[in-house]
Every structure is written in structure tokens, then in C-alpha cells.
A = this chain, B = another copy of it.
């Protein structure tokens, strides 16, 4: 199924007839629906829908779909996004010194697991520049101190704009971003946290896990929000540990978790399968 498709991601207050209204928008204009899943959060009274259809045979010209659907969405007071399968989002990866998540993302990209371009890597350290060079990706070393943070972030935002970045991945970027920065990329900033959130928020989660004597460690990929490590969770996974595992063993085992959990989160986002509301996510798998 590599035909050209459009995907709508919609959320609104739950009300009678939404499913049919949206399906009919596609059907009445000759669209062949290839994916349609909806979810209703009854306690919150909210409706969520992901619907994908082939553009081949669809009678509304591609450039007019947005406008046409706006008329359907307006009376529903819906929030919605429209995506086309031939759009290739542009990703910037933020890193510090650890290479494993970065390398893993770049390999997966090479293996075509991600429908995306990765033109930009930004780091507060110079260490990983040679990796960027090897993959022909531009690398910016922008050091961050308490004093220069806001100025440097302004510089980063400028670069992101210049590269027309759609999604930022914090691949073990060991800096807390300012709210001002975060606000520029709502639900377009994915972080990997090396614990099973909400356990072990903040720095040194593996050391915290060791101290607590847990029998299982975890990793969490989530959208970044202004509260530290409290944004909507996209994906989590865990691994068993024993009393024999030192902090170094937790770090080693955790690298595998981090790579996989971050990659799954990124892939779900790129396939337009994630809708966040409050600090929860709906995952249309």
C-alpha cells in the first residue's frame, strides 16, 4: 500500500454523528478509506479520530482539502491536522555526548524505518561532530551555560527555522530547555528519559534505580512540556535487572531500552499516529 494518502487527526467534544460526518466527508468525494480508528474518552467527553484515505480518485483537489474539511470541522469545534503521505518531515536531533541514541536513529533512517529527512544535529558539546560528518548532516556546536542559555537558545531557534525543522528529537540531550523554547514546538519535541516515568524524574535515574533496589528498569519517550519529565508519554518499555547489576550494568542495559523506546516514539509520531491531550496520548496503532 504505497499509494498517495491523506490522513486526518481530529479531536473534539464527543457528540452524536461525528464518525459518520467525517467518514462521509471522505466517501462523498470518492475517497477510499484505508485506515479509520476512533476513540472516545467517556470520562473527559472527548472524541479522537484518525482517518486515512487514498487521494487517487478523491474529487477534492489536494490543495483544497484543508479548506473543504475546515467547513466540516468548524461546527464540531474540532482541533485537527491534515497530513499527506508524500510529505517528508524534517528532523533536528539534539545530542550531548552519548552517541547510542543518535547512531540508532541514523541507522534506522538509513534502513528507511522513518519517513523523514535529518538535515541537522545540534549539540552542546563538540564530541559527536564526526558522526554527523560521516552521515553528511550539518552539525552545530552550541555550548550552553547558565549565563548564555537564553541567547544560545535564540540562536538555536534561528537555525531550526532556517532548516525548516518539523520535529526535534532530544536524543540524550542533557540540558533542560526553557519554556520559551518549548512553546515554539508544541508536540513537536520528543525526549527520551532513561527511567520508567514517573519514577526517577530528573538527573541520574540509573543511580536512583540502583539505590532503590528495583528489579526492573525502564525508559520513556514523551513530548516535552514545561514541567520536567511530565509531558505526554508516547511509549515505555522495561528490562529486568538483578542484584548483580551495578550502576554501569543498568546504564548498559538501559541503552538498549532507550534506543528502542525513542525509535518507537519517533516512528509513531512520523506516521501521524499520536494525539496528545493534557498529559495523555492516544496512540492509533
Contact = CB atoms under 8 A, between A and B. Distances in A.
A20 B24 contact: yes
A20 to B, nearest CB: 3
Nearest to A263: B256
A interface majority secondary structure: mixed
Interface string A115-136: 0000000000000000000100
Interface in A194-211: 196-200, 211
Interface residues of A, number: 67
Given A199-B199, A216-B236, A238-B238, A19 B43 contact: no
**Most-contacted residue by chain B among A27, A211, A215, A238 (CB, 10 A):** A215
B218 A216 contact: yes
A27 B20 contact: yes
A85 interface: no
B19 A27 contact: yes
A196 B218 CA distance: 10
Interface stretch (A146-154, A158-166, A169-177, A242-250): A242-250
Interface string A213-240: 1111010000000000000111111101
Contacts of A134: 134
Interface of A: 1, 16-21, 23-24, 26-28, 30, 32-43, 57, 100, 103, 107, 111, 113, 134, 196-200, 211-216, 218, 232-238, 240, 242-244, 246, 252, 255-256, 260, 278-283, 285
